[in-house]
Structure 1
Amino acid sequence: MKWSELCIHTTQEAVDPITNVLHESGSSGVVIEDPEDLQKDWPTDLGEVYELDPADYPVEGVYIKAYLPVNSFLGETVEEIKQGINNLLLHDIDLGHNTITISEVNEEEWATAWKKYYKPVKLTDHITITPTWEEYQPASDKELVIELDPGMAFGTGTHPTTVLCIKALEAVMPEKAEILDVGTGTGVLSIASAKLGARSVMAVDLDDVAVQSARLNVKLNKVHDRVTVKQNNLVDNFNESYDIIVANLLADIVIRLSDDAVNLLKSGGFFITSGIIYNKKDDVRTKLEQSGLSIVKTLEEDDWIAFVAQRN
């Protein structure tokens, strides 16, 4: 089968929202080529490291590559994608060059090729993520291993926003915590919470593909007795109280969610938020404090920010 590859030249800030637009338009795979990856020192103790070709990367900004089947609706789909991306300007998201190029590829070239770059990654001193198709032996009994198969859902669990959330969970997780994971994606934060000792986790996502992927990964990691995955829009129709609410979302959504999050937190509970690009940091901090939360910890990696806020 033949597919069209859409290559979008944009910014790091726009990666998550554009990825969402692409997924909603029927993309069956996304590749992100960020030139910052060329500068990183990748660990060599967890498997083979593949040499990255600088020619595949932009000089500035980020390439997002998406794949759509070649059919009679392709033209309309591309136009819908362009319109959806341009609509992000209404939310003050910097799109950078915002150019789209299209090329044709065969299914065999991309359907599995990306897997050779997805290797076990040690996220923290205690947690390692490994793809299900890789053999991995923990270095010690204390190491927590999360097996992940992203499938068609976005996220391999190694993005800086996810790492920041996991570090925050490690820092503040109370014993036998009850947790709400908003926008769970592949379920990695819910699985990490369960492995860190949470008594129960409610994982929600609006996207059906993400829900199915999260359920699969929860079973793979044998935490289905503590993690429930549900299709839901943010925290709509929730009345329970939680020790921790974790939300790896866009800054604008975090701002919109903060008042509802406070109402669902137990006294002294924590609201962990990530997915916040640096230039949105002050806006999110201000809204969290206005909602009655105190910022107790700020974590940073690359251009991303995560806040740990506590209910007063």
Structure 2
Amino acid sequence: MDWVEMRVQTAPESEEAVFNLLLELGAQGTATVGSSLLKNRESQYGEWFDEAEESETGEEKLWIAGYIKAEDFQPSLVEKLKKRVENLTVYGLNPGPAEVEARRVSEEFWEKAWKEYYHPTRITDRLTVKPLWESYRPEPGETVIELDPGMAFGTGTHPTTVLSMKLLEETLQPGQRVIDVGCGSGILSIASARLGAETVLAVDLDPRAVENAERNVRLNDLQHRIRVREGDLLQDVDQTADLVVSNILAEIILQFTADLPRVLRRGGVFIASGIIAEKEKEVVRAVHDAGLTVMKSLREGDWVALAARS
């Protein structure tokens, strides 16, 4: 099958927002390409990284790519995407150059390029993420999460995911119940189970995410502890949990903080990531209004993750 790759050059703070825009326009998968890939690895698939370079000011050029089936692609999508990216200023985000390009690629090319740069990565003291096609022998005390990210979901190495997993490792107690809101690939649900959670409910509005998360849960043989289902944030969740984790945009987190007192047990913890630094105060205020107290925050670059207790 052939695909059309739509690439957007943007600022790092708009990365997650551009992902969402691409998916809204019909992308079946996304990927991030930055100059760090060129610096760290040489690839026979050079054209895959040909736009990943530094600007004249020395700043990294960040390209977000989305993949649409060639049969579904319309040239008008390029201009539509450009306008939506430029409009991110309304939400206080810097869209960067907002340049949009499109080209036709084969699925075989995409898969080979993907496997060229995705390898086992130690995320925290205890957690390592490993793609399913790699062999890996863990060290004593190291827990491995096997992941098939698929075209639509990340590798687990994005700063927002790393921050989430660090807070999970510090906060989650064995035997606790967890709800993962906006589960994506299911990586945080799997990490929770690996860290000792008794049960995990993984929820995502996108049926593709549900399918991908279910596949990764099976890869890790955790079907007996993790239940994945389609759902709109916490709206139709009727169970309670000791810990709620969510790695999505701040604007989406703000939509369900009012539901936290209903699902989070007394003394429970809410971990929120995907928060750009400029939105931190707004999220902290919403969490406080929901009756929670922020215990800790972690930062990496422009990204912030919070842990708050009820």
- Does TM, normalized by the shorter one, top 0.5? yes
Q: Which residue of 1 aligns with 2:240?
A: 241
Q: Secondary structure at the match of 1:111?
A: helix
Offset at residue 123 of structure 1 (A): 0.4
Closer, same or farther: CA 38–262 of 1 in aligned 2, 3 Å: farther
Q: Which residue of 1 aligns with 2:153?
A: 154
Q: Secondary structure at the match of 1:224?
A: coil
Q: Which residue of 1 aligns with 2:276?
A: 277
Q: Please give the alpha-carbon distance, in whole angstroms, between the structure 2 residues aligned to 1:20 and 1:112.
A: 24
Q: Which residue of 2 aligns with 1:288?
A: 287
Given that 1:298 and 1:308 are in contact with CA atoms closer than 8 Å, whether structure 2 keeps it comes out as yes
Given that 1:178 and 1:198 are in contact with CA atoms closer than 8 Å, whether structure 2 keeps it comes out as yes
Q: Deviations over 1:164-220 (max 9, x none)?
A: 111111111123000000000000000010011101000000001110000000011
5+ residue gaps, structure 2, are: none
Given that 2:78 and 2:101 are in contact with CA atoms closer than 8 Å, whether structure 1 keeps it comes out as no
Question: What amino acid is aligned across from residue 52 of structure 2 in structure 1?
Answer: D
Closer, same or farther: CA 62–124 of 1 in aligned 2, 3 Å: same
Q: Which residue of 1 aligns with 2:298?
A: 299
Q: Please give the alpha-carbon distance, in whole angstroms, between the structure 1 residues aligned to 2:50 and 2:103.
A: 20
Offset at residue 163 of structure 1 (A): 1.0
Q: Please give the alpha-carbon distance, in whole angstroms, between the structure 2 residues aligned to 1:301 and 1:275.
A: 11
Q: Which residue of 1 aligns with 2:109?
A: 109
Offset at residue 30 of structure 1 (A): 2.3
Closer, same or farther: CA 38–277 of 1 in aligned 2, 3 Å: farther
Q: Secondary structure at the match of 1:16?
A: helix
Q: Please give the alpha-carbon distance, in whole angstroms, between the structure 2 residues aligned to 1:228 and 1:261.
A: 20
Question: What amino acid is aligned across from residue 218 of structure 1 in structure 2?
Answer: V
Q: Please give the alpha-carbon distance, in whole angstroms, between the structure 1 residues aligned to 2:51 and 2:179.
A: 42
Given that 1:33 and 1:57 are in contact with CA atoms closer than 8 Å, whether structure 2 keeps it comes out as no
Q: Percent identity?
A: 40
Q: Secondary structure at the match of 1:275?
A: strand
Q: Please give the alpha-carbon distance, in whole angstroms, between the structure 2 residues aligned to 1:33 and 1:71.
A: 25
Offset at residue 300 of structure 1 (A): 1.1
Closer, same or farther: CA 238–57 of 1 in aligned 2, 3 Å: same
Q: Which residue of 1 aligns with 2:12?
A: 12
Q: Please give the alpha-carbon distance, in whole angstroms, between the structure 2 residues aligned to 1:159 and 1:96.
A: 19
Given that 1:152 and 1:209 are in contact with CA atoms closer than 8 Å, whether structure 2 keeps it comes out as no
Q: Which moved more, 1:112-121 or 1:75-84?
A: 75-84
Q: Deviations over 1:197-244 (max 9, x none)?
A: 101000000001110000000011011100000100000122221100
Q: Secondary structure at the match of 2:254?
A: helix
**How do residues 30-179 of structure 1 correspond to structure 2 at under 5 angstroms?**
30-35=30-35, 50=42, 56-59=52-55, 60=59, 61-71=61-71, 73-140=73-140, 142-179=141-178
Q: Secondary structure at the match of 1:138?
A: coil
Q: Secondary structure at the match of 1:112?
A: helix
Q: Please give the alpha-carbon distance, in whole angstroms, between the structure 2 residues aligned to 1:27 and 1:168.
A: 31
Closer, same or farther: CA 291–265 of 1 in aligned 2, 3 Å: same
Q: Please give the alpha-carbon distance, in whole angstroms, between the structure 1 residues aligned to 2:67 and 2:170.
A: 38
Closer, same or farther: CA 254–263 of 1 in aligned 2, 3 Å: same
Count matched residues: 302
Offset at residue 32 of structure 1 (A): 1.3
Q: Which residue of 2 aligns with 1:45?
A: none
Q: Please give the alpha-carbon distance, in whole angstroms, between the structure 2 residues aligned to 1:87 and 1:236.
A: 28
